[in-house]
Structure 1
Amino acid sequence: MIQLAISRLLLGSLTLLLAGTVWALGEVKSGYDYVKDETRAMQDDDFENPGMLAVEQGRELFSKMPDSGKSCASCHGEAGEKLDVKSLARYPIYDKEQGGIVRLEDRIRNCQKDQASTEPVPYYDHELLALETFVRNLARGEPVNVQTDGEMESLLKKGDELYHIRFGLIDMSCAHCHDMYPGQYIRGQRISQGQGNGFPAYRLDTGEMANLDLRIKQCLTLMRAEPFAPDAEESKLLEAYIMSRSNGLKIETPAVRY
């Protein structure tokens, strides 16, 4: 009863903070457009951007030789130069052999298992986040280009449905914040459109890196909802849909966000 009362209070506070004009999603904008000037300056300077520490850690892990004798660099070049940045900008992708959506973190874990013959790093582990950040950073500046036709079309529709489902005791959907109220303030921070082009990103609020799936998990927790498992189909569908909304925006990894 106490938790329900607190949740209702939070929902009431959120309603008051967002009172006024309902904003319709028009021009697609990066979260960069909604953060403070000092946060933008921090992101723009590689020496000041705390997310670059994850890039450097990922670079070291990329070249680290496991007991199997095959590192990421063994296939993709010491600095990842053999990776196609335009292909990286298409993740999440549909992979027929894998039977569905494959995110970048899934691809890294699959390579660890199938190519390097090592135990895949657990989801949300700081080493996996660092590897994903390093690889995604290689495509910084490339426009997001997630497939929206073919096999992906029906999957993105399912992701769209999840995006608009109300979750948890707060009884809100992703769309409530990011489609209806971008630009409005909550707890001193401007609500963004929830685009994924900056992820993995450094979060000032938590002082750590978060990929898009972890950020979704954090949002669901705030809504007093049970988060999806990191390898659940719902997680993949929702991430693919959110990334498809970011098509055309330049990859900013590692972005700096609140």
Structure 2
Amino acid sequence: MRRTLALLLLALPASAQDRRSGFEDMARETQAMQRDDMQNPGMLWVAEGEERFNRDCTSCHTEASMRGVAARYPAWDEATGAPIDLAGRISACVERHQRATPPARESQALLALTAYVAHQSRGLPISRPTDPRLAPALAQGRALYGERRGQLDLSCVQCHDDNAGRRLAGSVIPQAHPTGYPLYRLEWQGLGSLQRRLRGCMTGVRSEPFAYGAAEYVALEIFLNDRAAGMAIETPAVRP
């Protein structure tokens, strides 16, 4: 078994062998916070999400049916004829089946529900987006990842591929794998989505960010999931 595993690892390209979660670059104290559900602040949102799920969603869904859902999002949405991320699916579900105003992006309600659903897939590998209808968005996400932006004229590639592992303003530059979202960020003192983090990167290079829910963010998430395919979901992760 060990010999077979070693041969499989050798068969992978170097970039696949060397992939690492941002968890591995954190201080031991922060790692311990993520490992222990009693210390992980993100579990407060998961608990709230569980309450909301049990109150509003169990007429259609069970907790067991949520296992693996987060691993395969973004996915194709038949209703809109476009890709949709997990938060967007939950928001649309609330609007369609509860006939209620959908929760806003980055709202406590949507973050809690998304964290709860994603938490059910913790430990499962991220799936590669294989639906051919996602191909144009995957290509768009790849292009956005490599596109120089803002007054600093920087791309995602220059930080998270070319300089991953080095330090910027004292912090380790991660490889930008979306394994733990929504996650608790110590800088935010709260839970946030991948779109919030992407917006932070864009403003950091002095670029105008897209609006929450924009198709560009969904395309980027599709590409990032393709890039991180096979890595384990950590939700709710903790990051500095």
Contact 2:74 2:85 in 1 (8 A): yes
Choose which of 218, 224, 238 in structure 2 pairs with 1:242. 224
Q: Which of residues 117, 120, 123 is equivalent to 1:141?
A: 123
The code of the aligned residue for 2:64 comes to E
Identical counterparts, % of pairs: 38
Mapped contact 1:148–1:244 kept (Cα < 8 A) = no
- Residue in structure 1 matching 2:167, options 159, 166, 185: 185
SS in 2 for 1:195: coil
Cα distance between partner residues in 2 of 1:206 and 1:231: 20
In 1, Cα distance between the equivalents of 2:233 and 2:222?
Answer: 15
Q: What residue in structure 1 maps to residue 102 of structure 2?
A: 120
Determine the C-alpha separation between the residues in 1 that align with 2:204 and 2:108.
22
Instruction: Count residues with an aligned counterpart.
Output: 226
Whichever structure has more helix as a proportion of its residues is: 2
**What's 2:20 paired with?**
29
Q: Which residue of 2 aligns with 1:225?
A: 207
Deviation string 1:47-106 (CA, Å, 9 cap, x unpaired) is 111111111111112223xxxxxx1122113xx2232x2233101112343211110001
Aligned partner of 2:60 in structure 1 is 75
Is residue 137–residue 253 contact of structure 1 (8 Å, CA) maintained in 2?
Answer: yes
Secondary structure, counterpart of 2:206 in structure 1 = coil
**Residue identity opposite 1:34 in structure 2:** D
Partner-residue secondary structure (3-state), 1:161: helix
Within a 5 Å distance, the mapping from 1:161-180 to structure 2 comes to 161-180=143-162
Return 5+ residue gaps in structure 2 as ranges: 1-13
Matches within 5 A, 1:198-217: 198-217=180-199
RMSD: 1.5
- Secondary structure at the aligned position of 1:140 is classed as coil
Match of 1:8 in 2: none
Q: CA deviation at 1:149?
A: 5.2
Give the Cα separation in 1 of the matches to 2:141 and 2:105: 21
- In structure 2, do the counterparts of structure 1 residues 146 and 118 end up closer, same or farther at CA, with 3 Å as the change threshold? farther
